[in-house]
Structure 1
Amino acid sequence: MPPSSRPEVFPVHTPAASQIFTTVLSHGPLTRSEMAGRTGLSAAAVTKAVRPLIEAGYLVEDVDEEARRALGRPANPVRVDGGRALFLGVKVTGDELIGVLTDLCCRIRVARHLPLTDRDPKPVLAQIAELVRELLTEADGFGVRVRGLGLAVSGDVDRAAGAVRYSPFLEWRDVPLAELAAMTTGLPVTVDNDVRALTVAEQWFGAGVGLSDFAVVTVGAGIGCGLVVHGQVVAGAHGVAGEIGHVAIDPAGPLCHCGNRGCVEAIAGEEAIVAAVGEAAGVQVADAAEALAFAHRGDAGARAVYARAGEAIGRGIATVANLLGPELVIISGEGLAAYDLFAEQIRDAFAAAAFGSAAQCAVRTRPLPFEEWARGAAATAIQSFITTDQN
């Protein structure tokens, strides 16, 4: 195993230590009294949790010597030392691998793209190993070890088992990806659904910091949704919580690849839009960029397709708001390139379908490059490192 990838366990595996560390990670620097206020822990419990984390170098206390001399024992802020550990994140798409090397604060240090030559699990694993080797070489230049690898894959992913149950874009079923990738790379591996991974990054490091209830809806090749309820990313009993792409809103609508009709994804997913624009225009449309060009040139049929897609997305978001009552819904994904064509329909459909005070949920767009999805994968690896007992 390369020196940069030798495993090291987090110094303290207690609920209090994890809570304190993630609080400082997301909100820091914080004084000990501020930690107590945010977590509800006693001053003694905070001190007990902070001490070993400082001794191990994961937390750093910023001491103001002048204030110390003047006041005796001032309240010093404590922050996470982002350079204390490195992590890898890889987003697996149907066409390429996007890999990032991040620090402990999930700041991207290096990003790499690698085209996929084959979607079968074995060659994909070989290419993941190739990308990991390249990133580990980059990590050696930082002089800090890589603690874990996160892999983000679309579809039905069982994080606890480390398995991809079904990924329609890769055409995978029951692939034990975490086990296989760990054997191939020698790293601790976390595998999660790509939208849930992105949601972890938004919760800890992005637009969801400080919110106890919010959702991330992604628009693109598929329609995904990550949910945070009472401060926890929700996967559900079977790992498919938040699949609003497969909420049927039109029983007589187009056939979805899941087998049902009129799903949000069958109307607003990239493949569905391309097919519908081609049918409306009476020509073969090659891809989403060409479909978008038709609409932007003013083709009435193409614009109607995007309007219908916006209505479907708005109704899907309203379903989330009605069921869970989040404070915020973040819309992201590559499909935002067409946002000007369906923004009004999303707003109108959401307002019409949201029940009562659910309509008070804020809806905002947040365009994110694919590197951010890989960063989400790294965030799950950081999360596993902090919260999982590896002894």
Structure 2
Amino acid sequence: MGDRATLFPVKHVIALDVGGTGMKAALVRADGTLLHEDRRATGRERGPEAVVAGILDFADELRVLGERRFGEPALAAGVGVPGVIDEARGVAVFAANLGWRDVPLRALLSARLAGVPVALGHDVRTGGLAEGRIGAGQGTDRFLYLALGTGIAGAIGVGGRIDPGAHGSAGEIGHVVVRPGGPPCGCGQSGCLERLASASAVGQSWATACGDPSADAAACARAVEAGDPRARAVWAEAVAALADGLVTGITLLDPRMLIIGGGLAEAGDTLFTPLRAAVSERITFQHLPDIVPAALGDTAGCLGAGLLAWDLLSTEVSA
């Protein structure tokens, strides 16, 4: 598709998915179609002010591109960012990996985008929204979504929406303590789930076990598949910790489905076969939910941010 405007205007929103190292952006139709995608570095090494400036610049570039290519301005924008989010005020309260505190991101973006309404959400919860509504959980009334990446975070889906909790931190299952007295976590506790079963934790354990400092979780999964006993021990420990954390989530939330995404989920059956067995072994009175891989890959965050924007528009219309 070229840069010329289409014959008929195309209604769309701007969507941004901001991570610790990279940003993904898209122009999204109401049905979830990605009209345009782009990526660039977050630039956190330049400091939090530069990160915010980069987000605003990226969004504005998409605004201009959308007007030129699709014949009308974006109707709204949605952005998902990591850390603690006050969705009601539109403030990015804190993100350790981006170094910012109390950034009024919604107001800054709306001003930069000529006053269009902006929805702000948590990056994992926006991904969970997309997976629940148009991805692996489509049609499921109650689910728990987990992203197993550098850390572990979750999203609680109920009736097609994500519950942020009373204070914007619902779903932080990565900080459930599954091994009391275990490895210290950046949150101040020890033995948190993400310190044992995230992709980064598995990578660190495998690097120690195999003596290769550059080894990561994907390398561990390949070694498991090749029958390496050291890799199988590392993997089994991570799966056991993950199963313990999931049973806690199942007990509290009674989800119909567990949707698992992130880098570790890319191991496929190497992860899901033993994980389903481990969770099943631990269940007593609880109902065992379906445990399925996420379906949208790394586009989930952008799609979810787009859905936030469209939801914001529908809310304003009905208000």
Q: TM-score range by the shorter chain?
A: 0.7 to 0.9
Secondary structure of 1:147's partner? coil
The one of 167, 182, 191 equivalent to 2:95 is: 167
Unaligned 5+ runs, structure 2: 1-8
The one of 165, 168, 179 equivalent to 2:107 is: 179
CA contact (8 A) 2:176 2:245 kept: yes
The structure with higher relative contact order (CA 8 Å, sep 6+) is 2
* 2:59 counterpart residue number: 132
How do 1:30-69 and structure 2 match up within 5 A? Answer: none
Aligned residues, how many? 308
Q: Give the partner amino acid of 2:55.
A: I
Question: Could you tell me how far 1:253 is from its partner in structure 2?
Answer: 1.6
Q: What root-mean-square deviation, in Å, do the aligned CA atoms of Structure 1 and Structure 2 show?
A: 2.4
Secondary structure of 1:323's partner? helix
| Residues 200-238 of structure 1 deviation map (CA, whole Å, 9 limit, x = unaligned) | 223333333332211211111121211123554211111
How do 1:199-214 and structure 2 match up within 5 A? Answer: 199-214=128-143
Paired with 1:294 and 1:171, the residues of 2 have a C-alpha distance of 36
Question: Could you tell me how far 1:112 is from its partner in structure 2?
Answer: 0.3
CA contact (8 A) 2:239 2:275 kept: yes
* 2:254 counterpart residue number: 325
Question: Could you tell me how far 1:260 is from its partner in structure 2?
Answer: 0.9
Paired with 1:368 and 1:310, the residues of 2 have a C-alpha distance of 23
How do 1:282-361 and structure 2 match up within 5 A? Answer: 282-285=211-214, 287-359=216-288, 361=289
Name the CA shift for 1:133/1:181 in 2 (closer, same or farther; >3 Å).
closer
Name the CA shift for 1:214/1:374 in 2 (closer, same or farther; >3 Å).
same
* 1:149 counterpart residue number: 77
Question: Could you tell me how far 1:390 is from its partner in structure 2?
Answer: 9.8
Q: Give the partner amino acid of 1:262.
A: G
Question: Could you tell me how far 1:270 is from its partner in structure 2?
Answer: 2.4
Name the CA shift for 1:210/1:288 in 2 (closer, same or farther; >3 Å).
closer
Name the CA shift for 1:293/1:144 in 2 (closer, same or farther; >3 Å).
same
CA contact (8 A) 1:319 1:354 kept: no
CA contact (8 A) 1:331 1:366 kept: yes
Question: Could you tell me how far 1:84 is from its partner in structure 2?
Answer: 5.8
Unaligned 5+ runs, structure 1: 1-82
TM-score for both structures, normalised by structure 2: 0.87
Q: Give the partner amino acid of 2:239.
A: G
The one of 363, 375, 378 equivalent to 2:306 is: 378
Question: Could you tell me how far 1:239 is from its partner in structure 2?
Answer: 0.9
Task: Name the % identity.
Answer: 31
Name the CA shift for 1:288/1:134 in 2 (closer, same or farther; >3 Å).
farther
Paired with 2:11 and 2:160, the residues of 1 have a C-alpha distance of 25
Paired with 1:111 and 1:206, the residues of 2 have a C-alpha distance of 18
Paired with 2:235 and 2:254, the residues of 1 have a C-alpha distance of 27
Question: Could you tell me how far 1:170 is from its partner in structure 2?
Answer: 2.2
Secondary structure of 1:329's partner? strand
Name the CA shift for 1:382/1:268 in 2 (closer, same or farther; >3 Å).
same
Question: Could you tell me how far 1:97 is from its partner in structure 2?
Answer: 0.9
| Residues 78-118 of structure 1 deviation map (CA, whole Å, 9 limit, x = unaligned) | xxxxx762111111111111001101222111100112333
Q: Give the partner amino acid of 1:188.
A: P
Secondary structure of 2:247's partner? helix
CA contact (8 A) 1:99 1:371 kept: no
Paired with 1:173 and 1:137, the residues of 2 have a C-alpha distance of 29
Paired with 2:224 and 2:89, the residues of 1 have a C-alpha distance of 43
* 1:100 counterpart residue number: 26
CA contact (8 A) 2:206 2:215 kept: no
* 2:292 counterpart residue number: 364
